[in-house]
Amino acid sequence: MVDQDGDNGDRTVAPDRRPNTMDRFADVEGLVRTEQLNDRMGIVVTDWTPDRLVATMPVKDNRQPYGLLHGGASCVLAEALGSIAAAMHAGPERAAVGIEINATHHRAVRDGLVTAVCTPVHAGRTLASYEVAISDEQGARVCTARLTCILRPSAPARQHS
């Protein structure tokens, strides 16, 4: 993201999607932190609305020994988007915690970027489930995942001694 000094200090949210402070979903920046797994995997959130969250991830550095996109990397991408979407749905008073994920890997991909589109299946008071469709650069479906999160009251921040 481009900060006020013009520096690109955070690459986990695309610069052209930086929300203004009035945006209800501005907190996506707080949900996508640097120096976490999402950053290491190269996941970049490119678009978000209440009904859709989109991100990309490079295949490079996320391959298994046969040179294909690692299935676990697809699951990380799916869980990242589903968790962010659930946290935005939950709001600041509740925490979204993943309790189940499943994924079907449809085809192999060897290079380029994959794009994930996360949409709600159910967004309730205590549970939220999301489908995440991951496609290659040609638009072919690579993986379909589903994540369910429980929405719990937020715990107070811990004090570190």
CB atoms within 10 A of CB 108: 14
Q: Is 96 helix (H, G, I), strand (E, B) or coil?
A: strand
Distance CA 38, CA 59 (A): 14
Residue with tokens 């990380």: 76
Active site residues: 79
- E strand spans, the chain: 44-49, 52-58, 94-105, 113-123, 127-135, 141-153
Q: Are 109 and 139 in contact (CB under 8 A)?
A: no
Secondary structure (H, E, C), 27-55: CHHHHCCCCCHHHHHCCEEEEEECCEEEE
Find out whether 129 and 98 touch, Cβ atoms under 8 Å: no
